[in-house]
Chain A
Amino acid sequence: MGRLIRCIADNVVSPLGVTSAANYEAVKAGRSGLARYEGMGNITTPFVLSRIDRDVVDGLCSNLGIEIKAYTFFEKMVLASAAQAVRDAGIDARSERVLFIFSTTKGNVSLLGDAQGFPSDRVLLGVAAHQVTAWMGNPNPPIVICNACISGVVAQIEAMRALRSGKYDYAVVTGADEQSPFIISGFLSFKAMSDAPCRPFDKDRKGLNLGECAATVVLAVTDAVSEGWELKTGAIRNDANHISGPSRTGEGSYLALREVLKECSMDDLAFVNVHGTATAYNDEMESIAIYRAGLIDVPVTGLKGCYGHTMGAAGVVESILSMYAVQDGTVLATRGYSECGVSYPVNVSAECRKTTGSSFIKLLSGFGGCNAALLYEKH
C-alpha cells in the first residue's frame, strides 16, 4: 500500500477567470488583475488591488444552485470554487470519507465593519466554514487553517497527511480571502504596500499589492500514480526570530526547502514558485533561503504581479498555476520583474521560459515567522 496523494481536480476563481485553464491562459498571455484604487471606506491612501467582480461570483453561485442572499461574499467565493471542483472531481461530498479543509487568514472579518444583516457569529472562521460544508452536505466538522500567508500550502500538507492516515479518501482544499478595509488598512499601516503594480525581486520594488481569489484542489489517496499530479511532500518551519519580519538568514524557508528536497530529484525540478511579495524584506529573505538550499540556478517564478497577494488563496492558486505551467513545459514570467534587486541572484525572468522539468516546489512565508514548502510531481 503506497498511500500516494493525487490531485484529481482544481478550480480558480479570480479576476482573470473562473476556471484554472482560463487563469493559466490569462497569466501566460501576460495579463494581470491588478488595478489602482484611490481609497476604500475610510482609507484615503491610494493602493493597487486585484479585486473580483461581485456579480461574477453571484453568477457562478446561481448556476450552481447556491442561494446568493444566504451567504457572504467570502462564503460565496469559497462555495463557487469548491462546488465546481467537487463537481469536476466527480466525488460525493456527502460521504464521511471526504474531508473539507479551508485556508483563509481573515474569512468574514469585513462583517465587523458592516454586518450586512448576517448573524454576528459568522465572523468566526469555523462557523463560516460550516456554511460551506452544510451546503455540500458533508458530515465532518470542517477545519480552517489560519496560518497567515502560508495557510494555502499548510492546508494542502494537512490534506496530504489526513489522506495518508487512512481516515479519508478525498480532501477538498479551498483557499480564499476577501479584501476589505480591515486588511488593506493594516498592510498600509505596515507601510508594506506599493501604490503601483508590484515588482517581485526587482531593484525598484516598493512593496506588495493585495488580491482576491478562491482556489480549490481536490486530493485523493491512491496506491499508485500512473498519470497526473502527485503531491509528494511538504514541510512547515518557523524562523523563531520575529513575529512580523522574516529571518535575515531565511532560516525557516531554508529548513522547509531542505525538508522537501529530500524527496526531490533535482534533474526533474522545473522551478520554484516563490512567495515573491515584492516587499524589500520578503524577496531578500527568499533569495537567501534559495541560495542556502542549493537552488540558486533553478528557475524561480512568482505570480503576485498577476494576482497580488491573495493571502489564504495564495498557496492554492499558485500551486494550481504551477501545475498548468509544468504541463505546458513553461516557467511562467514573473510580471513586474526587470532587474535583480536581491543579494543572491535568483534565476528569475520577466519572460516565459521553456522547461522539460516534471516537478515544482511551492514556497511561502508569513507573519508569525512561519514558512512552508511543498513538492508536486507530474507522472
Chain B
Amino acid sequence: MKSIEAMGMNVSGLDNVVISSSKVLVNGRALEHESQGNAMLTEIYRSHVADWPKFFKMDTLSKVGFLATELLLKERDEARMGSEEFASDRAIVLFGTTASLCADRNYQATIQSASDYYPSPALFVYTLPNIVTGEIAIRCHYRGETQFLVVENFDSHQMAFHVQCALQDSVTKSVLVGWVDSTGNDDFECFMTLVDRNEAACADTLAEQMEGIMNNLK
C-alpha cells in the first residue's frame, strides 16, 4: 500500500486532501512547496487559492481546515466558488483531539500577567474550535449543519457513526468530513473528504476509507 501511495494514487476510494506540517497531498498527489509549517500554508494559499484575504486573519486550525476544503473542492471541480447561491444540503462535520488548544494557549498568553494584560477579541474568537466550520461555511456559502466534535483519540468507526448521524437530517445530502488538529502554529495535521448518502451507507466501509486517508498523514 505504501508503494502505491508513493506513486501518487488515491487508494481510499474517496476524494481527499491531507495536510501535515511538511506535506500537502491531493488524492495522494503531493503539491510542491518550499516552506514548512505555517509558512507552507501561506505558500499553498498563494499558489492555489489567492482570492480570500480573510485567510490571513484565521488561526492555524482554521487555515488548515479552510485550505484542505479549498483543495478538495477544486480537485472535484465543484462549481460553487463565486456563486451567490446558498445551499443547505451540505453539512460540515469536523473532528479532532486538541480542538482550539493552540488558539487557547495564544489567548491565555495575553491575560496571564497583570502587567501584560491585553485580551484581544480577534484571538478570543478562535478559542472556539467550531469557528473553522464557520469559515468554511462562509467561503462556500453553505447554510447547512456545521459541527465540531472533540474525541479523545482518532477512531474512524466513531467518526463514521457521527457522519451517518449527520445524514439523518432530512435536508442534508452530503457531508464534508474532516480531521483537524493543531498543537502549535507550525504543528498540525488534517484530512478532508466528502461523502454523500451512498458513500456513507456502510459505516465499516467509510471507517476503513478514512483509516486509509489517515495513514497518508504518517
Identify the A interface with B (CB < 8 A): 41-42, 105-106, 109, 112-113, 123-127, 129-130, 141-148, 154, 158, 161-162, 164-165, 167, 181-182, 185-186, 188-190, 235-244, 251-252, 255, 259, 262, 366-370
Asked if B147 contacts A241 (CB within 8 A), the reply is: no
B149 CB within 8 Å of chain A: yes
Asked if B148 contacts A237 (CB within 8 A), the reply is: no
User: Which of B29-37, B38-46, B168-176, B186-194 is the interface stretch?
Assistant: B168-176
Question: CA A123 – CA B183 in complex, angstroms?
Answer: 12
Q: What are 14 of the A-B contact pairs (CB < 8 Å)?
A: A42-B117, A106-B104, A143-B151, A146-B128, A182-B127, A189-B119, A236-B145, A244-B125, A255-B143, A366-B130, A367-B131, A368-B134, A369-B134, A369-B146
Asked if A42 contacts B152 (CB within 8 A), the reply is: no
Given contacts A112-B104, A369-B137, contact A125 B113 (CB under 8 A): no
B162 CB within 8 Å of chain A: yes
Determine how close the nearest CB of chain A comes to the CB of B65; give it in whole angstroms. Answer: 12
Asked if A185 contacts B149 (CB within 8 A), the reply is: no
Asked if A190 contacts B137 (CB within 8 A), the reply is: no
Determine how close the nearest CB of chain B comes to the CB of A275; give it in whole angstroms. Answer: 16
Question: CA A146 – CA B134 in complex, angstroms?
Answer: 13
CB contacts under 8 Å to A, within B91-127, are: 92, 97-99, 101, 104-105, 107-108, 111-114, 117, 119-121, 124-125, 127
Given contacts A141-B153, A186-B121, A189-B120, contact A237 B144 (CB under 8 A): yes
B133 CB within 8 Å of chain A: yes
CB contacts under 8 Å to A, within B139-179, are: 140-153, 155, 158, 161-162, 164-166, 168-171
Please give, as numbers and ranges, the residues of chain B lying within 8 Å of A124 by CB-CB distance.
97-99, 101, 150, 152
Question: CA A129 – CA B129 in complex, angstroms?
Answer: 17
Asked if B168 contacts A146 (CB within 8 A), the reply is: no
**Number of cross-chain contacts by CB at 8 Å:** 173
Determine how close the nearest CB of chain B comes to the CB of A185; give it in whole angstroms. Answer: 4
Indicate which residue in B97, B146, B152 contacts A236 across the interface (CB closer than 8 Å).
Answer: B146
DSSP class of A's interface residues: helix, strand, loop or mixed? mixed
Smallest Cβ-Cβ distance to B133: which chain A residue: A368
Asked if B150 contacts A125 (CB within 8 A), the reply is: yes
Asked if A251 contacts B153 (CB within 8 A), the reply is: no
Question: CA A190 – CA B147 in complex, angstroms?
Answer: 23
Asked if B101 contacts A235 (CB within 8 A), the reply is: no
B50 CB within 8 Å of chain A: no
Please give, as numbers and ranges, the residues of chain A lying within 8 Å of B150 by CB-CB distance.
124-126, 129, 143-146
B138 CB within 8 Å of chain A: yes
Beyond contacts A241-B138, A255-B143: 6 other A-B pairs, Cβ-Cβ < 8 A, are A129-B152, A182-B127, A186-B127, A238-B145, A240-B86, A251-B86
B88 CB within 8 Å of chain A: yes
Asked if B151 contacts A243 (CB within 8 A), the reply is: no
Question: CA A236 – CA B147 in complex, angstroms?
Answer: 8
B135 CB within 8 Å of chain A: yes
Asked if B145 contacts A237 (CB within 8 A), the reply is: yes
Which of A130, A141, A185 has most chain B Cβ within 10 Å? A185
Asked if B104 contacts A370 (CB within 8 A), the reply is: no
Smallest Cβ-Cβ distance to A149: which chain B residue: B128
Smallest Cβ-Cβ distance to A110: which chain B residue: B108
Which of B98, B134, B168 has most chain A Cβ within 10 Å? B134
Asked if A146 contacts B129 (CB within 8 A), the reply is: yes
Given contacts A112-B105, A123-B101, A126-B152, contact A165 B143 (CB under 8 A): no
Across chains A and B, which 6 residue pairs bring their CB atoms closest together, nearest first?
Answer: A126-B152, A368-B134, A186-B124, A161-B165, A144-B150, A189-B119
Indicate which residue in B124, B155, B166 contacts A190 across the interface (CB closer than 8 Å).
Answer: B124
Asked if A147 contacts B130 (CB within 8 A), the reply is: yes
Question: CA A38 – CA B86 in complex, angstroms?
Answer: 45
Question: CA A125 – CA B112 in complex, angstroms?
Answer: 21
Question: CA A141 – CA B105 in complex, angstroms?
Answer: 26
Asked if B142 contacts A126 (CB within 8 A), the reply is: no
Indicate which residue in A162, A188, A262, A368 contacts B128 across the interface (CB closer than 8 Å).
Answer: A368
Which of B97, B128, B131, B138 has most chain A Cβ within 10 Å? B128
Please give, as numbers and ranges, the residues of chain A lying within 8 Å of B152 by CB-CB distance.
124, 126-127, 129-130, 141-142
Indicate which residue in A145, A158, A186 contacts B107 across the interface (CB closer than 8 Å).
Answer: A186
Determine how close the nearest CB of chain B comes to the CB of A40; give it in whole angstroms. Answer: 11
Indicate which residue in A147, A189, A240, A243 contacts B147 across the interface (CB closer than 8 Å).
Answer: A147
Question: CA A242 – CA B101 in complex, angstroms?
Answer: 22
Please give, as numbers and ranges, the residues of chain B lying within 8 Å of A167 by CB-CB distance.
161
Question: CA A142 – CA B124 in complex, angstroms?
Answer: 26
Question: CA A79 – CA B149 in complex, angstroms?
Answer: 20
Please give, as numbers and ranges, the residues of chain B lying within 8 Å of A182 by CB-CB distance.
104, 107-108, 111, 127
Given contacts A186-B121, A190-B124, contact A123 B104 (CB under 8 A): yes
Given contacts A145-B147, A240-B143, contact A370 B133 (CB under 8 A): yes
Asked if A243 contacts B131 (CB within 8 A), the reply is: yes
Question: CA A165 – CA B164 in complex, angstroms?
Answer: 9
Asked if B138 contacts A243 (CB within 8 A), the reply is: yes
Question: CA A366 – CA B144 in complex, angstroms?
Answer: 15
Question: CA A262 – CA B108 in complex, angstroms?
Answer: 44
Given contacts A190-B121, A236-B146, A237-B88, contact A367 B134 (CB under 8 A): yes
Question: CA A235 – CA B166 in complex, angstroms?
Answer: 10
Asked if A239 contacts B147 (CB within 8 A), the reply is: no
Smallest Cβ-Cβ distance to A105: which chain B residue: B128
Determine how close the nearest CB of chain A comes to the CB of B52; give it in whole angstroms. Answer: 13
Asked if B162 contacts A112 (CB within 8 A), the reply is: no
